[in-house]
């Protein structure tokens, strides 16, 4: 009768737990920490973060620590042993298949309507990817240097290497594809602005 709850994974909770592995934090700090470490492939908003913290405390997976007085030096949360266990249990479960969605590819797929304009978008994507790869190069060096010796370092670097490799291959693809779209443009007659004449095809 009632639709059974699809029981999702509540990943925000595990992200919070995982970030607390690096030490206690309040909600605000947690967000900064997320942005500066896993920000390249994950993000959380306060609208998710604060409710998650409350729930986790109720469930005993995090505990408050320190004295809450005024704004500065606010309440901090730390992960509990139960929290560590819960996090580990999630980490070892195989990742849920993620439905990928790529809006740029969608526009490329529909590029017959405006090959030149889509070509420009793809070129812009190439430039952004190149810049991103350079940024990740710098980040890689910085992190290697700053947390040298930490046992988790290879894992952290691996996530940066992922982004870097992805950006590089995206840049290459985008440059090839932009050229392809240019060829489509010159192969086809000039297009009407908004008035369509013949439906084509």
Partner DNA sequence: TAGCACATGTAATAAGTTACATGATTTT
Partner DNA sequence: AAAATCATGTAACTTATTACATGTGCTA
Q: Which residues of this chain interact with a second copy, rule CB under 8 A?
A: 11, 14-15, 18, 21, 37-38, 40-43, 81, 84-85, 87-88, 91-92, 94-96, 98-115, 117-118, 121, 124, 151-152, 154-156, 158-159, 161-162, 165-166, 168-170, 172-173, 176-177, 180-181, 183-184, 187-188, 194, 196, 201
Candidates 63-71, 82-90, 116-124, 191-199; binding stretch for DNA (CB under 7 A): 63-71
Assign 25 to helix, strand or coil.
Answer: strand
CB contact at 8 A, 163 and 40? yes
What's the rounded Cα separation, in Å, for the pair 28 and 64? 14
Cβ–Cβ contacts within 10 Å for residue 12, how many? 19
List CB contacts of 46: < 8 A, sequence separation 6 or more.
27, 31
12 vs 53, beta carbon nearer a second copy: 12
Strand (E) positions, 120-184? none
Residue 7 found at the interface with DNA (CB under 7 A): yes
Residues that bind DNA (CB under 7 A): 1-12, 26-29, 32, 43-48, 50-51, 53-54, 69-75, 99, 101
């Amino acid at each position: 009768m009632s639709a059974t709850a699809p029981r999702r994974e509540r990943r925000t909770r595990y992200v919070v737990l995982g970030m607390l592995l690096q030490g206690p934090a309040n909600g605000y700090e947690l967000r900064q920490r997320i942005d500066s470490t896993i920000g390249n492939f994950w993000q959380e908003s306060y609208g998710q973060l604060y409710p998650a913290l409350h729930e986790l405390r109720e469930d005993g997976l995090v505990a408050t620590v320190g004295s809450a007085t005024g704004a500065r030096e606010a309440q901090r949360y730390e992960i509990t042993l139960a929290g560590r266990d819960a996090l580990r249990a999630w980490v070892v479960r195989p990742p849920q298949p993620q439905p990928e969605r790529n809006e740029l590819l969608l526009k490329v797929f529909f590029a017959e309507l405006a090959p030149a304009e889509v070509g420009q978008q793809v070129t812009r994507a190439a430039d952004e990817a190149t810049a991103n790869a350079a940024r990740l190069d710098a980040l890689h060096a910085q992190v290697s240097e700053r947390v040298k010796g930490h046992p988790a370092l290879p894992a952290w670097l691996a996530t940066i290497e992922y982004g870097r490799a992805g950006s590089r291959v995206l840049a290459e693809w985008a440059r090839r594809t932009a050229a392809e779209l240019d060829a489509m443009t010159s192969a086809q007659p000039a297009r009407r602005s908004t008035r369509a004449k013949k439906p084509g095809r």
